[in-house]
Amino acid sequence: MDSPLVIERSEHGVSRKSFSPNALKVLYRLKDGGYDAYLVGGCIRDALLGIEPKDFDIVTNATPEQIKKQFRNCRLIGRRFRLAHIVFGREIIEVATMRGHHDAPEDKNQVSQSSEHGQLLRDNVYGSIEEDAERRDFSINALYYSVKDFSIRDFAGGMQAIKNRRIELIGDPETRYREDPVRMLRAIRFATKLDMTIAPETEAPIFDLSSLLGNIPSARLFEECLKLFLNGKAEQNFLLLRKYGLFKELFPALDILLDASPDGDEFQLTKQMFINTDKRINANKKVTPAYIFAILLWYPLQNRCAKLMQQEKQAEYEIFNLAINQILSESAKNIAVPKRFTLGARDIWHIQQRMPRRSGQRPFRLTQQPRFRASYDFLLLRASISGGPLNELADWWTGYIDNDPQVQKQMVQELNSPKNSGNTDHSDKPKKRRRPRKRKPVNSQPEAQNKPTE
């Protein structure tokens, strides 16, 4: 790599005020300890773009063990690549040792290992700042800020890429994607987040290499999904994932249904959910991953229920539970959703099944469920897409929620009155228990009949 372009403090608008005070503490302590240290990556990129930086990553020529000696509040993590986390209460500053090339001489503490597909499994090889810059994924992330002279070092044309608003991989795109297939997801996320376009040479290999995501641990893909769907750009990310063939590696069951009906209810529901999610995120409102995954797996769940109904001779409730278990188990092979979110998705699905049943105290008891509000939002979304009876059901629940207990009671009574009996779900009514028939004892005949005739 050529010598870096050095942008002096007078030539850029990045100020230390843009950075976390704790990140600056780490930089100065490493500098005072005799080590080189730089802020790198996203925080420099965002500061140049006028975006408030949130994550502060530091690289240094100190080894993880040397970093740990400098900070009592340090813990070392990672197997694929050893990192130091400096903990300041709830804020964590990540410090990495500058990475080197894989073919560099290795000692017992430096290990590099790749899979047969070219994916890096172990990456503990240290090097110089020039080598570290070559190992960065995108040119916009190969920018280094020094507290020695407050300059920015640009090793891969990152400043020009920011000016051109282009996402460009450093090095050969196919090789870099094979090293870490998650870079394909990162390219999409950076493009939508920063309102940039993916350079043609960076974009081209994605179509053919999308299947490499199957080699990524499902837990890591869950974290990447959260970054894609909870950053306020979920709709755009969804459309690009579909465009590049990456969505099928994350949600194969839903992707099959989307391909079968490109503009059907499945696509409309998914897209509208992401639009609504973006609105909530951009309004600083909370969104639970349980709701997102409940919707992404809803149509695969319905499809599985329909198939099981033809195969199994069980009650509808039992088939519904069986379908849930199968769908969640199959989905976990691609994305390992934590149990706290799958439990939430289960609750939302079960409440969808219970909402048409509105006799007696059932509506009131349903509104007391912790996941009722998310389930109600889900019902409204389904009604807006499918219409028909769902619209009537959604309107009834909206009226029920918005009224006082006396009106609620009256609504339930009117719904179950004889004149509305044709609109009532009779499966909702409790079935009367039949009294068991009393069986006559075997020897219950009169004694006289058992006597022999004379």
> Which sequence positions are flagged as catalytic?
55, 57, 137
- Assigned token pair, 406: 């006396």
- Assigned token pair, 344: 């939430």
Of the candidates 212, 197, 204, 275, which has an alpha carbon nearest to the alpha carbon of residue 248?
Answer: 212
The Cα 59–Cα 141 span in angstroms is 12
Of the candidates 78, 122, 83, 126, which has an alpha carbon nearest to the alpha carbon of residue 106?
Answer: 126
Of the candidates 71, 112, 109, which has an alpha carbon nearest to the alpha carbon of residue 92?
Answer: 71
- Assigned token pair, 42: 């996203």
The Cα 252–Cα 331 span in angstroms is 8
Residue 144 DSSP code:
E
- The upper half-sphere exposure of residue 428, i.e. CA atoms within 13 Å in the direction of its Cβ, equals 20
DSSP 223-238: HHHHHHHSSS-HHHHH
The Cα 40–Cα 138 span in angstroms is 12
Q: Report yes or no: 190 and 226 within 8 Å, Cβ to Cβ.
A: no
The Cα 214–Cα 405 span in angstroms is 52
The Cα 427–Cα 416 span in angstroms is 12
Output the CA–CA distances (angstroms, integers) from residue 244 to 237, 240, 247, 275, in the order listed: 11, 6, 8, 20
Antiparallel, parallel or unpaired: β 152-154 and 5-7: antiparallel
Residue 62 DSSP code:
S
Note the helical H segments in 332-371: 339-354, 362-367
CB burial readout 231-248, b (16+ within 10 A) else e: bbbbbbbbebbbebbbbb
Of the candidates 263, 177, 182, which has an alpha carbon nearest to the alpha carbon of residue 228?
Answer: 182
DSSP 81-133: S-EEEEEETTEEEEEEEPB--TTS---TT-EEEE-TTS-EEEEE-B--HHHHH
